[in-house]
Structure 1
Amino acid sequence: MKNFKDLTLTDDFMFSKVMRKKDICKEFLELILDKKIEKIEYIEAEKTLNIDYDKRGVRLDVYLQDETTVYNIEMQTSNFANIPKRSRFYQSVMDVSSLGKAQDFDDLKESYVIFVCTKDLFGYNEPIYDFVTYDKKHGIIYGDEAHTVIVNANAEISNETKMGKFINYLKHNEVSDDFTSSIDDTINEIKLDGKMRGEYMVLEAKLMDAKREGREEGREEGIIMTYVNQIRAIKKKEKISIDEALIKLYIPEEYWDKVKRELLNKWFIFE
């Protein structure tokens, strides 16, 4: 992970914190959606929505609404291939979560899942891609009011427009108007906030633990497969059972069940 002092708007942690400032978030939405928004409110920071039938949770970094619409905003710097399916999942859990038991489908708010991507996913050099459901033959808009918006932070556009200035800030951290100045000032304020620094350090520690566990799991898998191959060789050469081979090889008790399960699940034990 980056050093806290080096974070920019394209880092997920910093992006979510900056977008927690209402005036910036409101201006950002108005810029990319090209519409006026009177008032926004945050539903819950870093909210996790759980759907009983799926048992899978989804963490929404910046989840907010106005009177008629709900929005989820996310910075994306990798794993671009799964964005379409992830957007579909986000839309579904947002709808189920927001619709009360006594409410009708007509009460569903218009929804926007917004990804700010550091790569042009579609190759048309558009700063904004706005996807809606429509009939392929006649171009009829379906009217489910579900949008996926991709902000292309890598677009090459003129710095003379507000959008161009924002995209340029995402790419180069260059302040060129009041909006990017407000973003830059907020980032500097966050970097001076000891509480924010502590939160980032906790996140960093959790990620390090996860990587360490992953390495340990990988190491264990390697040990198990080494034992599996040795046992298969002994069993084949000496015509003995798996249990006899496990004992003969002096497999540690902590690996016994895992090695035996690997043998039974993946190999012909009577070869």
Structure 2
Amino acid sequence: MLICYKQTEEKEDTEKERGDIMAENNTKELDFDRKHEEDLQRLRGLRLLDDDFMQKVFEDKACTEFLLQIILNRTDLKVLRVNGQQDIKNLQGRSVRLDILAVDAENRVYNIEIQRSDKGAGVKRARYNSSLIDANVTEPGEKYENLCESYVIFITENDIMKVGLPIYHIDRTVKETGELFGDESHIIYVNSQIKDESALGKLMHDFSCTDAKDMKYKILADRVRYFKEDEKGVATMCRAMEEMRNETARETEHAKAIKVAKGMLQSGKLSYEEIAEIAELSIDEVKALDEKVIA
């Protein structure tokens, strides 16, 4: 009887464990389904003015070429290569992610940024992006005269300059003469609020559309339709949104770790090694934080 009771008890434990595992799997499946449905809902509402969506659409070389031809009013412009979410570093090693980085047949470099927030499109941000491009396209020992011509282009949801113009071109000039400085470093702001019947106005209209059928330019409409209606395109966007969600979670956790490490550094009670272990950071990261705290 004792043996029989023990076997029954073990069987009940096994069934309970199996039930717990099934319940956990069901919860995970429901959570996945919920997130997937949320992604699909979000995807339906995305526009080219949303940088996550814009990056995928303009990874296509033909679309980027079309975009630049309209903004720069140059039909002869030919894009050789384009990268979305391009990471480039400053001299201190800090990484900055650019929405789109493209290079044309004349070796001109283009950084295209979408900004719905006025703060993110500030003049210092434009200057910073321009300097990063110069620093990253120059090889050690290369002559400054060989610097590539560069364009930093902000497509903004609002009129950053608040003058009511569709586009603003910024180039350095000699103050005393009014002549162009000629350093071939250009900054352009495109105001998406102007949606007239000009080529640029039609482009900005398309940037504001959530449905491909409402867009004016076929080349962009086809690309938008692919990511919103084609099975493979939708799957690509859902994967991209999942990756962005995971990256955001990692960045949040890292920010928390930085905050914890700074607090421990200020207390002065623990070694770099101990702080690194507790905060789950590298020792080099902790040392770098300590230098900033001291400064």
TM-score, L = length of structure 2: 0.65
186, 189, 203: which one aligns with 2:223: 186
Q: Distance in 2 between matches of 1:57 and 1:33?
A: 28
Matched, 1:103 2:103: no
Give 2:142's aligned amino acid.
Answer: Q
Counterparts of 2:90 and 2:79, CA distance in 1: 25
Contact 1:26 1:37 in 2 (8 A): no
Residue 132 of structure 1: CA displacement?
Answer: 0.4
- When residues 35 and 17 of structure 1 are mapped into structure 2, their CA distance, relative to the original with a 3 A threshold, is same
Contact 2:116-2:157 within 8 A present in 1 as well: yes
Distance 1:162 1:38, change over 3 A: closer
Q: CA distance change for structure 1 residues 82 and 10 in 2, over 3 Å: closer, same or farther?
A: closer
The worse-fitting range, judged by mean Cα deviation, of 167-176 and 79-88 is: 167-176
SS at match of 1:45: strand
Shift of 1:81: 5.8
C-alpha contact 1:117 1:153 (8 A) present in aligned 2:
yes
Q: Is the 8 A contact 1:73 1:115 kept in 2?
A: yes
1:46 aligned partner = 85
Contact 2:121 2:156 survives alignment (8 Å): no
Moved runs in structure 1, 4+ residues, more than 4 A?
208-218
Cα distance change of structure 1 residues 125 and 26 upon mapping to structure 2, 3 Å threshold: same
AA partner of residue 134 (structure 2): D
- Indicate the RMSD between aligned Cα atoms, in angstroms: 2.9
The percent of aligned pairs where both chains have the same amino acid is 25
Letter of the 2:152 partner, please give it: V
Unaligned runs of 5+ residues in structure 2 are 1-38, 264-277, 279-292
Structure 1: gaps spanning 5 or more residues? 225-253, 255-264, 266-271
| Maintained 8 Å contact 2:83/2:102 | yes
TM-score, length-scaled by structure 1: 0.70
One-letter code of the match for 1:205?
A: N
Change (3 A) 1:205 1:176: closer
Q: Is the 8 A contact 1:154 1:171 kept in 2?
A: no
After the TM superposition, which residues 192-211 of structure 1 pair with which residues of structure 2 at under 5 Å, given as runs?
A: 192=230, 193=233, 194-208=235-249, 210=251
In structure 2, C-alpha distance between the alignment counterparts of 1:76 and 1:110, rounded to whole Å: 23
1:114 aligns with 2:153: yes
1:52-63 aligned within 5 A: 52=91, 54-63=92-101
Cα distance in 1 for partners of 2:124, 2:71 equals 22
Which has more helix, going by share of residues? Answer: 2
Kept in 1, the 8 Å contact 2:170–2:187? The answer is yes
Report the 3-state secondary structure (helix = DSSP H, G, I; strand = E; otherwise coil) of the residue aligned with 1:168.
helix
Structure 1 position 166 matched with structure 2 position 203: yes
Name the CA distance, whole Å, in 1 between partners of 2:89 and 2:122.
19
